[in-house]
Chains A and B, each alone.
Chain A
Amino acid sequence: MMHSIVLQKGTGKVEQFIQQLINGISIGSIYALIALGYTMVYGIIKLINFAHGDILMIGGYVGLGCVLFFNMSFIPAVLIAMVVCAALGVFTEKVAYKPLRNAPRIAVLITAIGVSFLLEYLMVYFFKASSRTYPSDFFSFGSINLGSITISMDKMMVMLITIVLMVLIQIVIKKTKLGKSIRAVSSDQDAALLMGVSVDNAISFTFIIGSALAAVAGVMYGAMFTINPLMGMQPGIKAFVAAVFGGIGNIPGAILGGMLLGVTETLVSAYLSSSIKDAVAFAILIIVLLVRPSGLLGKNVKEKV
């Protein structure tokens, strides 16, 4: 399944723990990348975009296509995947979600489930349900030894890419005009509209950012494990858990939630039992929803009459 625990050279208890921590943070980075898209979309149109995990899957397939047919290396393949996914994200938003912008939330949620299934089964139809793998040298950076600990550079690369992207996104959101318009629409759509902010553009831009990040996550996820048309579901739901955990609508929260979930999951599967690993993620979700629905970093919002 997702992260097979490879006990590398370090056999001592401490070494093993550090190894697991690195595994956890690297899978957590991927969750964080996906969670960011969830949280931004939720922040701006209050929609749990169920199809987000499937955008990740499409990203994985586009990346694989670039490698197999054009023999590209990691960076160009990721860039192309980002462009394709961003376009797909905006397309789904315009076709399926935009007509429902003021509709009841449940209607939009059901539509999102529909979009998710549509993407999944179109891919099953065209590319078959079987799993595919990236060439082994595609995302491979060797490993380094620090005393008795072996650190896989692939995992370090995942973390590094995630950190760079996170910083970039923070700059875009905080410093640019488009970022400002996204924040404005998130906090009050009507007021933003009155102030001359293009709500449509802000929403489309949110989908572009979210989908592009999902594409990066998809290529890395595919390179680390395998890809198949239904691969987006598990990381998609987990990333949603991460977003809720950190406080949905809150960008640093998504990152924190992703990392914490990745580490918790890895440690549970290493020290308790790998079969209950997935249940842990959902248990965290339910506890967070019941105890602190606004998440770790979220603000409490009271419902108005």
Chain B
Amino acid sequence: MGYDNKARIKSSIKAIIFVGVIYGIMKILMLPQINIINPFYQTIIMKIFIEITLALGLNLITGITGQFSLGHAGFMSIGAYTAAFIMLRTTVNVGMIFAATLAGGIVAGLVGLLIGIPTLRLKGDYLAIATLGLGEIIRILLQTTSKDFLGGAAGLSSIPIFANFEGVFFVAVICFFSISNLMKSSYGRALISVREDEIASEAMGVNVTNMKLLAFIMGTFFAGVAGAMYAGYVGFVQPKDFGFMKSIEILMIVVLGGLGNIRGTVIAAIVLNIIGVILQDFSEIRMILYALLLIIIMVIKSGETPWIQKLRAAMNIKSFKFNGKNKAGT
């Protein structure tokens, strides 16, 4: 398939060098003597890496496999709470941080598996609504927990700040390369075929249910890991931070970067966070801008009116295809 071993090794080396260079540059800029990335910028960069991890997971589920999920923040909260719960009861050391983060991902992935088995039978907008509902149920259940267990509505606080720059950076990098490598494998092509046409891909021998579950578990696992990092980055978790809004914010990144485009997701996470910082004091304007962007991107990408089609042709934009027709009566 054009991926002989030599090319594979070559691209791996390229990727490692690329990551190393980015890491090195950021580390140098962070040196106290240079101080271009001061602690304020550093927190923003960490936030960006956490959101990249979240959005990549959602892109795998929604963009690549075509299963529209509106409950991603729910899985993030499971990871965050799991890690917070562990870190509040143990001593902070590298091993425990690693274990807590991994546990966050695994618990979220397991919940993803349990939830995915029944719900992934649903299609398109029904799945979207079911996942929205599940995300809300997770949040409400967290709110009703007792104070000593998961803190109820007040959440858990004074969690040791265990996520450092290296942690969030390498989590995002691992997430990026796992998904981009997956896309180069036969599994990746199977995932795309599920998005493009479920019935046809089933006819070609793709196990549609397993493929959907694979994407869902992987996506929720990364959401859990990102959640764990988030808990270790802000130091407190509250159910209301993981509501429907958060899911939409993650979706926003995925849509802006292009559904199914993993590099786009990374760029969009960076761009949206920069916009967020610029409009820090005008959160309403930021939300209005986000909403307008959602509408405009969707209308330009999929609009059918002649002038939009012309615009698309002129700007060389691909209209995106997605499983599920929209005609009444079909």
State the A residues within 8 Å of B (CB): 44-46, 48, 96, 98-111, 113-118, 120-122, 124-125, 185-191, 233, 237, 240-241, 244, 273, 275-276, 278-279, 282-283, 285-286, 289-290, 293, 303-305
Contacts and interface: CB of A to CB of B under 8 A. Distances in A.
Nearest to B152: A275
Contacts of A233: 244
Contacts of A99: 299, 303-305, 308
B326 A101 contact: yes
| Residue of B143, B299, B321, B322 contacting most chain A CB atoms (<10 Å) | B299
Contacts of B10: none
Contacts of B329: 186-191
Given A105-B324, A110-B298, A189-B327, A282 B126 contact: no
A279 B136 contact: yes
A275 B302 CA distance: 41
15 contacts: A100-B326, A105-B125, A106-B66, A106-B322, A107-B322, A118-B288, A121-B287, A122-B288, A186-B328, A273-B144, A275-B140, A279-B136, A286-B119, A289-B122, A304-B330
B84 to A, nearest CB: 21
Given A125-B284, A125-B285, A282-B133, A118 B292 contact: yes
Contacts of A125: 284-285, 288
A305 B291 contact: no
Contact of A118 (B66, B123, B295, B298): B295
Nearest to A124: B284
A96 B304 contact: no
Contacts of A107: 298, 301-302, 320, 322
A207 B26 CA distance: 52
A116 B124 CA distance: 19
B128 interface: yes
Interface of B: 66, 68, 118-119, 121-126, 128-130, 132-134, 136-137, 140-141, 143-144, 199, 244, 248, 251, 255, 284-285, 287-288, 290-295, 298-299, 301-305, 308, 320-330
Given A102-B327, A279-B140, A113 B294 contact: yes
A282 to B, nearest CB: 4
A290 B119 contact: yes
Majority-rule SS of B interface residues: helix
A185 B327 CA distance: 10
A185 B126 contact: no
Given A103-B326, A114-B291, A189-B328, 18 more contacts: A101-B304, A103-B302, A103-B304, A105-B322, A107-B302, A109-B125, A113-B248, A117-B288, A121-B287, A124-B287, A189-B329, A241-B133, A276-B140, A278-B136, A282-B136, A285-B129, A286-B119, A289-B119
Nearest to B308: A99
Nearest to B309: A99
A241 B119 CA distance: 16
Contacts of A283: 133, 137
Q: 9 nearest interchain CB pairs? A: A114-B294, A104-B322, A103-B302, A282-B133, A99-B303, A118-B291, A188-B329, A117-B291, A121-B287
Nearest to A185: B328
Contacts of A237: 132, 136
A119 B295 CA distance: 12
A101 B292 CA distance: 19
A114 B298 contact: yes
Contacts of B133: 241, 282-283, 285-286
